Amino acid sequence: MVFGFFLLLSVITAPAIAQPNTRGFISIDCGNSNSSYFDTVTQVPYVSDDRFIDVGSDFYIQSNYINSSVPTLQLNLRSFPDRLRNCYTLKPVPQNTTYLVRATFMYGNYDGKNSQIQFDLHIGVDHWKTMTISDPSAIYTAEALSLATANSTSVCLVNTGGGTPFISSLELRPLRNGLYGEYVNASQSVVLVTRRNFGATKSLRFPDDPYDRVWNPYNDPSLLTLSTNSRVDNRDDLFEPPVAVMQTAVTPKGIRQLGFFWDSVSPRDELYAVLYFAELRNLTGKATRMFNVTRNGESRFSWYTPPYLSIGYIYSVVPFKGYSRYQYLLHPTSNSTHPPIINAFEVYSLMQLTQAATDSRDVDAMAEIRLQYQLKRNWMGDPCAPKAYTWDGLNCSYGPDPPRIISINLTSAGLSGEISSSFAMLKAVKHLYLSQNNFNGTIPDSLGSLSSLQVLDLSCNNLTGNIPDSLGLLSSLQVLNLSGNNFNGSVPDTLLKKAATGLLTLRVDKKGCTKVPSSSTKHKTHVVVIISVVSGLLLLVVVLIVIVWSTRRLRGQDSNTFVQPQSEDHFLQRDHQVSFEGRQFTYAQLVNITNNFTRVIGKGGFGMIYHGCLETGKQVAIKMCFVSSPQGMKEFLAEAQNLTRIYHRNLVSLVGYCMDGNCPTLVYEYMKQGSLQEHLRGKAGHSRGLSWGQRLQIALNAAQGLEYLHRGCKPPIIHRDVKTSNILLNEELEARIADFGLSKSFHSDEQTHVSTESVVGTPGYIDPEYHQTYQLTEKSDVYSFGVVLLELITGRPPLVPGSGNTHIVQWITPHLSRGSIDDIVDESLRGEYDPTCAWKILDLAIRCTANKGSQRPTMFEVVMQLRSCLELVIASDKCENENVYSGDFNVDQESASDIGTNMPGPTVPTR
Ligand SMILES: *[C@@H]1O[C@H](CO)[C@@H](O)[C@H](O)[C@H]1NC(C)=O
Ligand SMILES: *[C@@H]1O[C@H](CO)[C@@H](O)[C@H](O)[C@H]1NC(C)=O
Ligand SMILES: *[C@@H]1O[C@H](CO)[C@@H](O)[C@H](O)[C@H]1NC(C)=O
Ligand SMILES: *[C@@H]1O[C@H](CO)[C@@H](O)[C@H](O)[C@H]1NC(C)=O
Ligand SMILES: *[C@@H]1O[C@H](CO)[C@@H](O)[C@H](O)[C@H]1NC(C)=O
Ligand SMILES: *[C@@H]1O[C@H](CO)[C@@H](O)[C@H](O)[C@H]1NC(C)=O
Ligand SMILES: *[C@@H]1O[C@H](CO)[C@@H](O)[C@H](O)[C@H]1NC(C)=O
Ligand SMILES: *[C@@H]1O[C@H](CO)[C@@H](O)[C@H](O)[C@H]1NC(C)=O
């Protein structure tokens, strides 16, 4: 017991000496192309600079400058004869962390020119220091303290006409939070002027200084050295000088003043100084050491006594300037029995951050684009700032806010491969010119998130594949030039509609590219506006109808065939005699279509669902007696007419309706593979076998359908009854949402819908917030969709049987805390899924099922997330064969397993 107490005590009181480590250090030996090594003095590992820059040339210093005192680091260098600005990109830098960055330069007459060289150094967009290299055997240093606002930083060498810039080493050291907090913040950095350790005989750095500051000796033979082996307590929030530095000090021989000085580069430099003191002698009795401090004759501090074996410092809180030499004098006060002492000092000059760096998201995106295409050019450092060094091909907006990239011209830039999805991250871009390159892949869907993009010119490339639907989501897009490519899919409806209304100038013809065009004449002679300004309401309406119909026809017949646009008026020529308004069937026609109602493919709570076949051969599903109440009939008609106009590939389209008698009937396109619910739960005679990729694809399809209802329809349509039995699959297992737009007026299906009060929906899928407030929003659909996602992941119904109808969200909570994805994912996948992606989807589902609607993502975000996950999956199992489904599923949109009574209040688990 007693022993335990002492043990505990000693653990607590033993000074926690953290072993210095090099975590976060970036240590680069510039111009050393292949070797990594540990520095002989500091044991810090150094690496070649290849990973941080891809321009410049490597050189060795001349052999007559090499001797044992020249560190390995200085033996070689990288020089930059080309371009005005060349930059190293240092990353990762922990964001919001102050870091020290240091560069060294030893000329060593590497180029045999024996010249004097002057050039500028920048950190990011700010001028750091002007380097003047005059002694070929000297090692010049530049050091600064700065705050990382992004997770990378750049160090640039700028040729100012004073010779070829070069660099020997580059080091970055993160500092503890708060260190130098008086001097460094988001809008202010400082440059080291000098840092001295009194009483030392050699310079001291890592590991004595865990932040690898270099403390050089200050030599003045007229002073006495004091030192101690006792530990000096250096715990301090602001400067934390190393113990070893504080263990030595100097003092005059005799009781008199102590002076030291340094020279400033310019009297205009605004400086900060920190003087460090620690009493190293045990002064007892009457012995005192007390002094006044003056700088250039001005009093800075009076009656100062250094603390015994502990640090004290005097530091400037406002910068000073005006002299080219600054002299500090420490005067002993009249009653002091000992002369002044001093242990160390540091001087920094202010580096005002005058320019804002480019928005860090744009910086990240451009870094990716640069990497993907291996672009050399002058694409280094900050893309937009300083303005004089803006990257070639970019235009930026400058204002009170950080610069944004608004236009990218990569015409004839020699790009090849696919179009980088990073373009989509450049939200402010309005113009993107990528013509005359060798793109060879498809346009990624993610281009759809360039919300401010106004002009997208991808002409004269070698793009293939489909034109993504998502281009239609580019809400600001005014010009889209896709001519001169090899697309083989159809043009998405959304684009056609925009073009028809005159909002978009669209060009998709194959011609129009001469091989080496002068871009201005090319535009004059070849730009053919397919559909530009459509004036006159009538014409507009006709065009719209034609387009809707013609694209529908295309889809209905064979979505894989696409007639290549042959001429500029291609879209106007096709099918313009047909207009479509939703077909009204008579009862007699229904009898005919269904062959006298012979094939039942499902049973609803109100009536049967029959299979039918139109004269054209198109298969349809006929949902009889959709409403029973007479007053619903009028609304039904209006609604049904509306719904026949809504068209999206992920929505089950309503072919027509029948109003005869008291049994209103809806005619839908027939979805051969039945509902998602059947696939997940299995049905007699059918095996469950949706692969992970198929599940993701289905989720994405369904999400796109919902997203269209929420964002593409005016006014937005809230589905109100999203569930797996309302997600139907066609022959290709492409998912479409069924029963949208009807829940509002026509939910009379008591068996499957909770319709107490005014809440409609299916148990297990109902948004708890809606359940409490009766406020229906799009986010209610998001909740239900989240439940669908959980079903897709787990293969379990929303109300998990066997445990008192536990809701799936509650079922999953304990599994989440255990952190095992294998326990959660559907066993029938037999482990064949990507766990990272599964976590992402699970996380998405959890967010969708958040208790509060405001915490749930929008369907747009859901689509984006699913898309990015699916891309990964497709990329990773491109070569694997997906199981192809066979078997004819019946449409059965209402299923007994939906029926439940108690509404659980799902809680939102957090992982
Ligand atoms: C950085 O600091 C700012 C302001 O203190 C804060 O808003 C931001 O979230 C921080 N960023 C990170 C990555 O910590
Ligand atoms: C200083 O010296 C006095 C007398 O010599 C002694 O009592 C005291 O413990 C010493 N203080 C420290 C901190 O060593
Ligand atoms: C120290 O400073 C005080 C207050 O400024 C002053 O009164 C005193 O004379 C100074 N002593 C010396 C030795 O300069
Ligand atoms: C020395 O003089 C200063 C100022 O008068 C006073 O604060 C300090 O206590 C004195 N020290 C001693 C040891 O008397
Ligand atoms: C920078 O940090 C943010 C936030 O941690 C992260 O989202 C982003 O991907 C990082 N960028 C790079 C280029 O690492
Ligand atoms: C894009 O850059 C090329 C060459 O740098 C230039 O000829 C062309 O005019 C630029 N295009 C636009 C639209 O600014
Ligand atoms: C185009 O893609 C094919 C394979 O998909 C590749 O072999 C070829 O090198 C690519 N061409 C260009 C110009 O990138
Ligand atoms: C375009 O791509 C196709 C196939 O990917 C290739 O045969 C053709 O040579 C490419 N054309 C150009 C101009 O790169």
**Do 371 and 408 belong together in one domain?**
yes
Query: Between 210 and 617, where is the model more confident?
Result: 210
Residue 889 lies in a domain: no
**Ligand 6 centroid to 513 CA: how many Å?**
15
Give the best-scoring range by mean pLDDT among 42-56, 372-386, 657-671: 42-56
Which atom belonging to ligand 4 lies closest to the Cα atom of 337? 13
Give the best-scoring range by mean pLDDT among 250-259, 365-374, 383-392, 476-485: 250-259
Residue 207 lies in a domain: no
The residue ranges of DSSP E strands in 377-417, in sequence order, are 394-397, 404-409, 416-417
> What's this model's pTM, rounded to 2 decimal places?
0.55
Task: Average the pLDDT over each of 320-334, 535-549, 704-718 and give the range with the smallest value.
Answer: 535-549
**Ligand 5 centroid to 369 CA: how many Å?**
15
**Ligand 4 centroid to 335 CA: how many Å?**
6
Q: What is the pLDDT of residues 174-189, one digit of tens each?
A: 999 889 998 999 889 9
**Ligand 1 centroid to 359 CA: how many Å?**
15
Region for residue 363 given its phi and psi (left: phi exceeds 0; alpha: psi -120 to 50; beta: otherwise): alpha
Q: Tell me what pLDDT residue 294 has.
A: 94
Q: How far is CA 302 from CA 255, 280, 327, 574, 615, in A?
A: 17, 20, 17, 93, 104
Any catalytic annotation for residue 120? no
Which atom belonging to ligand 1 lies closest to the Cα atom of 149? 1
What count of Cα atoms within 13 Å lies in the side-chain half-sphere of residue 424?
16
**Do 691 and 642 belong together in one domain?**
no
**Ligand 2 centroid to 311 CA: how many Å?**
18
Is the pLDDT reported for residue 2 higher than 50?
no
Ligand nearest to the CA of 151: 5
- ∠ Cα 840 841 844 (to 5°): 90
| Band of pLDDT at residue 679, cut at 50, 70 and 90 | confident
Q: Tell me what pLDDT residue 292 has.
A: 95
Ligand nearest to the CA of 283: 2
**Do 621 and 733 belong together in one domain?**
no
Q: What is the pLDDT of residues 620-640, one digit of tens each?
A: 988 876 655 555 566 666 667
- ∠ Cα 685 686 688 (to 5°): 145
Q: Tell me what pLDDT residue 688 has.
A: 58
Ligand 2 within 6 A of 285 CB? no
What count of Cα atoms within 13 Å lies in the side-chain half-sphere of residue 257?
12
CATH number at residue 659: 3.30.200.20
| Band of pLDDT at residue 29, cut at 50, 70 and 90 | very high
Query: Between 177 and 747, where is the model more confident?
Result: 177
CATH number at residue 37: 2.60.120.260
Q: Tell me what pLDDT residue 456 has.
A: 67
Q: Which of 174, 193, 217 is the last residue of a domain?
A: 174
Nearest CA to ligand 6 atom 1: 409
Is the pLDDT reported for residue 499 higher than 80?
no
Ligand 8 within 6 A of 488 CB? no
Q: How far is CA 718 from CA 221, 400, 715, 742, 901, in A?
A: 85, 40, 10, 9, 24
Nearest CA to ligand 7 atom 10: 440
**What is the CB neighbour count within 10 angstroms for residue 533?**
7
**Do 796 and 825 belong together in one domain?**
yes
| Band of pLDDT at residue 757, cut at 50, 70 and 90 | very low
Mean pLDDT across 537-553: 33
Give the closest residue to 489 by CA, choosing from 419, 420, 561: 561
603 is in an annotated binding site: no
Q: Tell me what pLDDT residue 127 has.
A: 92
Which atom belonging to ligand 4 lies closest to the Cα atom of 286? 13
Q: Which mutation among 255, 258, 302, 329 tests ligand 3's pocket best, with the greatest number of atoms within 8 A of CB?
A: 302
Residue 243 lies in a domain: no
Q: Tell me what pLDDT residue 567 has.
A: 27
Ligand 6 within 6 A of 395 CB? no
Residue 195 lies in a domain: no
Nearest CA to ligand 7 atom 8: 440
Share of the chain above pLDDT 90, in %: 34
Ligand 1 — pocket residues by CB below 6 A?
95-96
Ligand 4 within 6 A of 303 CB? yes
Ligand 2 within 6 A of 486 CB? no
**Ligand 2 centroid to 277 CA: how many Å?**
20
Q: Which mutation among 93, 95, 96, 185 tests ligand 1's pocket best, with the greatest number of atoms within 8 A of CB?
A: 96
Nearest CA to ligand 4 atom 1: 335
**Ligand 5 centroid to 360 CA: how many Å?**
9
Q: Which of 174, 202, 230 is the last residue of a domain?
A: 174
**Ligand 6 centroid to 416 CA: how many Å?**
18
Instruction: Tell me which H or E stretch contains 799.
Output: strand 799-800
Q: Which mutation among 283, 304, 335 tests ligand 4's pocket best, with the greatest number of atoms within 8 A of CB?
A: 335
**Do 372 and 431 belong together in one domain?**
yes
Of 49, 445, 493, 721, the catalytic one is 721
Nearest CA to ligand 1 atom 7: 96
Ligand 2 within 6 A of 598 CB? no
Residue 182 lies in a domain: no
Task: Average the pLDDT over each of 161-170, 209-218, 229-238, 881-890 and give the range with the smallest value.
Answer: 881-890
Q: Tell me what pLDDT residue 175 has.
A: 95
Q: Which mutation among 255, 288, 289, 331 tests ligand 4's pocket best, with the greatest number of atoms within 8 A of CB?
A: 288
Is the pLDDT reported for residue 495 higher than 90?
no
Mean pLDDT across 752-780: 71
Task: Average the pLDDT over each of 99-108, 128-137, 345-354, 749-758 and give the range with the smallest value.
Answer: 749-758
The span from the CA of 560 to the CA of 489, in Å, is: 7
Share of the chain above pLDDT 70, in %: 72
Q: Tell me what pLDDT residue 751 has.
A: 33
Q: Which of 623, 640, 670 is the last residue of a domain?
A: 670
Which atom belonging to ligand 8 lies closest to the Cα atom of 462? 1
Query: Between 739 and 875, where is the model more confident?
Result: 739
Q: How far is CA 15 from CA 123, 232, 233, 234, in A?
A: 38, 12, 10, 12
Task: Average the pLDDT over each of 61-65, 712-716, 817-821, 828-832 and give the range with the smallest value.
Answer: 712-716
Residue 577 lies in a domain: yes
Nearest CA to ligand 3 atom 12: 333
Is the pLDDT reported for residue 883 higher than 60?
no
Ligand 8 within 6 A of 462 CB? yes
Q: Tell me what pLDDT residue 399 has.
A: 77
Q: What residues have CB less than 8 Å from 366, skipping those under 6 apart?
A: 379, 383, 391, 394, 405, 422, 426
CATH number at residue 698: 1.10.510.10
CATH number at residue 490: 3.80.10.10
Ligand 5 within 6 A of 360 CB? no
User: Containing domain of residue 398, as a range?
Assistant: 360-540
Query: Between 214 and 693, where is the model more confident?
Result: 214
Nearest CA to ligand 4 atom 12: 335
Which atom belonging to ligand 2 lies closest to the Cα atom of 309? 13
Q: Tell me what pLDDT residue 877 has.
A: 58
Mean pLDDT across 653-664: 75
**Do 91 and 113 belong together in one domain?**
yes
Give the closest residue to 365 by CA, choosing from 376, 386, 379, 377: 379
**Do 792 and 840 belong together in one domain?**
yes
Mean pLDDT across 479-485: 72
Instruction: Tell me which H or E stretch contains 173.
Output: strand 169-174
| Band of pLDDT at residue 710, cut at 50, 70 and 90 | confident
Ligand 2 within 6 A of 68 CB? no
**Do 441 and 511 belong together in one domain?**
yes
The span from the CA of 108 to the CA of 104, in Å, is: 13
* CA end-to-end span of the chain: 40
Ligand 8 within 6 A of 416 CB? no
**Do 650 and 683 belong together in one domain?**
no
Ligand 6 within 6 A of 409 CB? yes
Residue 315 lies in a domain: no
Give the best-scoring range by mean pLDDT among 215-229, 352-366, 504-518, 659-673: 215-229
Average pLDDT, the chain: 77
- DSSP letter at 736? E
Is-contact 508 484, C-beta < 8 A?
A: no
| Band of pLDDT at residue 862, cut at 50, 70 and 90 | very high
| Band of pLDDT at residue 810, cut at 50, 70 and 90 | confident
The span from the CA of 771 to the CA of 720, in Å, is: 12
Is the pLDDT reported for residue 199 higher than 70?
yes
**Do 481 and 606 belong together in one domain?**
no
**Do 696 and 632 belong together in one domain?**
no
Query: Between 903 and 717, where is the model more confident?
Result: 717
Mean pLDDT across 701-707: 91
Ligand 6 within 6 A of 411 CB? yes
Give the best-scoring range by mean pLDDT among 327-331, 497-501, 508-512, 678-682: 327-331
Total domains in the chain come to: 4
Q: Tell me what pLDDT residue 881 has.
A: 37
Q: What is the pLDDT of residues 578-602, one digit of tens each?
A: 223 457 788 888 888 888 888 888 7
Ligand nearest to the CA of 288: 4
Query: Between 852 and 910, where is the model more confident?
Result: 852
Ligand 5 within 6 A of 364 CB? yes
**Ligand 8 centroid to 474 CA: how many Å?**
28
Mean pLDDT across 837-850: 90
**Do 589 and 492 belong together in one domain?**
no
| Band of pLDDT at residue 490, cut at 50, 70 and 90 | confident
**Ligand 7 centroid to 35 CA: how many Å?**
34
Ligand nearest to the CA of 422: 5
Q: Which mutation among 440, 461, 462, 486 tests ligand 7's pocket best, with the greatest number of atoms within 8 A of CB?
A: 440
Residue 261 lies in a domain: no
Is the pLDDT reported for residue 43 higher than 80?
yes
Q: How far is CA 76 from CA 67, 138, 709, in A?
A: 13, 14, 63
Query: Between 14 and 691, where is the model more confident?
Result: 691
Which atom belonging to ligand 4 lies closest to the Cα atom of 288? 13
